[in-house]
Amino acid sequence: MNNSSWFFQISFKQRIWLFATIAGMLAIIGIGILLNSSNIPKKSIEFSVNMSIRDIAPKLGVTDKGLARELELPINISKKKPLNLLKVTDDELDHAVEHILSHRDSVLKYYIYAALVLFGLVFLTKLGRPDGSDVKLRHKWYPRTPYLISLLLSVIVAGFILGKSPNPMEGVIKVFKSMVGLYPDPMVKVIVFGFFIILAVIGNKIICGWACPFGALQEIIYSIPILRKIKKKKLPFIFTNTIRTCLFVVMLLFLFGILGGRVGFVIYHYVNPFNLFNLDFEMFSILLTVIVALLISFITYRPFCQFICPFGFISWIIERFSIFGVRIDKDKCIQCGACIKICPLEAAEGRVKGKKMPADCFSCARCLSVCPVDAIQYTSILKSCAQTVPISCVLLKKQGYNVNRKTK
C-alpha cells in the first residue's frame, strides 16, 4: 500500500493520535537519555590477579559465586585467596570481566522498549485502520511501513547502538541465575523480568513483535518478498513448542545442578544471538546460532523465537492474560480461512478453532487486513468479551439453532 495515501486517509482524530504518540515516544526517550547519562560510570576500574574474588565481585555487580562461575572455577572455592594462587591468568580474568560488563544494562534501552511498544500498541488499536473505512478497502489497512520502521529502530538503536543488554531473553535467565546465587540483587532481576512481562501483557507479545532487536531482525528478513512458496509451509506448533519447552526445562535442570552437577551452568549462553549486537562471538556456537537463525528466517518465521527463546516460551504462556490483542468475533466469522492463510504461524488457526493454547501471536497485524466480514480486530479483552461468543455457538447457528449473543 502507498503509505502516504494511508496518512491522508486517516481521520483528523487519528492524526492527533499519531502526533501525540510520536511526542510521547520522544518524551519517554528523552527521560531515558537523561537517566542513562547519570548512570554512566565516571571511571573504569582495573583488576588484577593479585586481587581475590571477594575483592572483585562487588565492583562488577555479581556475587562471589557468579564470578567464580565466570572464571570456570568451582563455586565453593575459596573466595579470599588471590586469583593467581587459584591459577587464574590475566587473560582469563580480563575475559571474565569483559563478559560480565557486556551484560550491564543500558538504562536508556528500557525507555526505547517502552517507546516502541507504545507506538505499536497505538498503531494496532487506533491508527492502522482509517476511521469509517469500508471493509472493501481492507487491503489498504495496516500498511507495513510503520511496522518496518519500528523494527529497524529496534535493530539499529536497541540493538547495535545500545548493545545486547538488557533484552527479554536475558531478563528471564537472570532471574533464575539469581536464584542460585549468581547475582546479589535478585529483586532487581525480578523487577526487570516484570518489566518485560508487563510489555508482553499490555499488547499480545508486543515486546517480542515490535521491540525485541533480534526478533525484529528475523522479522525484517522474513518480510523480504522472496521464496514465497516455501514460506507458505508452516512448521507445526506442537513440534516447535515441544523443542522450546524441553530446552527450557533442560536449562533449569542444568542451572540448578540437577544435571551435570555444576550449579549455575546456563545452556542459553552458548546460543545467545544478542551477542550479535556487541559483535562478540566468544564461542563458535553463538556465531553458528546467529548465522543459522538469520538464514532460516528467509523461509521460516522467527525461528529462534519459535525453537529456543525462553522469553518466547514464557510470553506464550501469559498470552492468555494480554489486555490488548487479536480478537475474533466468532459470531461474524464465516470460516473462510483468509486469516489462517496470511498468518506466518498457526496462531490465527488456533484462534479461529477456539483452541485454549494456540500458537504464539507476535501482533504482526497481517491478519487484520484480510477478513472479508470484518470479524478480526486488535482490541482490548474487555471490549471483545461483549462482542464474541464461543465457536460452539457459531456451529450451532449454522445447524439452524437459535443462539442469542450474551452481552454484559
Burial 353-383 (b: 16+ CB within 10 A, else e): eeeeebbbbbbbbbbbbbbeeebbbbbeeee
pLDDT of residue 406: 40
Q: Tell me the range of 52-61, 85-94, 152-161, 256-265 where mean pLDDT is highest.
A: 152-161
CA 324/CA 124 separation, integer angstroms: 9
The CATH number of domain 323-398 is 3.30.70:
yes
Q: Name 74's Cβ contacts closer than 8 Å, sequence gap at least 6.
A: 68
Instruction: Pull the grid cell for residue 38.
Output: 547519570
pLDDT at 297: 97
CB of 182 closer than 8 Å to CB of 69: yes
Checking if the pLDDT of 302 tops 70, the result is yes
Range(s) of the chain covered by CATH 3.30.70: 323-398
Q: What angle (nearest 5°) sits at the alpha carbon of residue 311, between those of residues 200 and 150?
A: 55
pTM over 0.75: yes
Enter the C-alpha cell of residue 12. Answer: 483528523
Question: Residue 51 — pLDDT band, cuts 50, 70, 90?
Answer: confident
With a cut of 70, say whether residue 222 has pLDDT above it.
Answer: yes
Alpha helix positions (H), 159-207: 168-179, 186-202, 206
Per-residue DSSP letters for 222-280? HHSS--HHHHTSPPPHHHHHHHHHHHHHHHHHHHTTSSTT-TT--GGGGG-GGGGGGT-
Beta bridge partners of 380: 324
| pLDDT tens-place string over residues 350-406 | 999 989 899 999 999 999 999 999 999 999 987 654 444 443 344 434 444 444 444
Residue 70 has pLDDT above 50, yes or no: yes
Q: What is the pLDDT of residues 129-152, one digit of tens each?
A: 999 988 888 888 999 999 999 999
Q: Please say whether the beta carbons of 163 and 102 come within 8 A.
A: yes
pLDDT at 183 (0 to 100): 86
300: pLDDT strictly greater than 80: yes
Q: Which of 59, 63, 66, 61 is nearest to 45 (CA)?
A: 59
* The pLDDT value given to residue 389: 41
Q: pLDDT confidence of 47, banded at 50, 70, 90?
A: confident
